[in-house]
Amino acid sequence: MAKDELVRFGVAMEKSLLAELDAIVEARDVTRSEVLRDLVRAEVGRSQVARGIACVATLTLVYDHHVRELTERLNELQHKLGDKVRSTLHVHLDEHRCLEVIILRGRSDELQRVSERLLATRGVTHGGLEIVPDPAPAHEHLHAHAHAPVRVRRGG
């Protein structure tokens, strides 16, 4: 892949806003250009996602697992999604609440609709969806190469 050429351009902004940008630059120990590129990439991604593109997403749910049939309904909805659900993480927060993170892959508009249904399910108390453009929408991962072992650390 050829390297994309950098182009210089001027930006005008209010002095107070520039001071706030410089505070971010200093805190991150980067350049203004790096911060502006990150902001533009994020905005371009949001614009693309709104139009319905190939994407990856994380859906976070906090719910009361004592709500009647909630766990079954959440599982059923995930099974209906099929291969759009790439992975899930389930954590017991306390005796009543669970946190579930669902990693999704598909069209952004479809994942948005499904996520809204899951978030509106009775018993789900908090949650949110983060969608980003799929970095490799046509790439099919067949595991033809070795992966380093994953270490899980338990306890504290």
Strands 85-92 and 97-107: antiparallel
Q: pLDDT-derived band of residue 142, with 50, 70 and 90 as boundaries?
A: very low
If asked whether residues 103 and 43 sit together in one domain, one would say no
Residue 129 domain-assigned? yes
If asked whether residues 126 and 61 sit together in one domain, one would say yes
Separation CA 102–CA 70 (nearest Å): 16
If asked whether residues 62 and 125 sit together in one domain, one would say yes
Chain centre distance of CA 44: 15
pLDDT tens-digit series, residues 32-62: 999 999 999 888 878 887 788 899 999 999 9
Mean pLDDT within 103-120? 92
Domain of 28, in residue numbers: 15-50
pLDDT tens-digit series, residues 122-135: 999 999 999 988 87
Which alpha helices (H) appear in the chain, and where do they start and end? Answer: 15-28, 32-51, 70-81, 108-119
Residue 150 domain-assigned? no
Residue 91 domain-assigned? yes
pLDDT surpasses 80 at 145: no
If asked whether residues 60 and 74 sit together in one domain, one would say yes
If asked whether residues 31 and 80 sit together in one domain, one would say no
If asked whether residues 77 and 89 sit together in one domain, one would say yes
**Residue-level pLDDT at 80:** 87
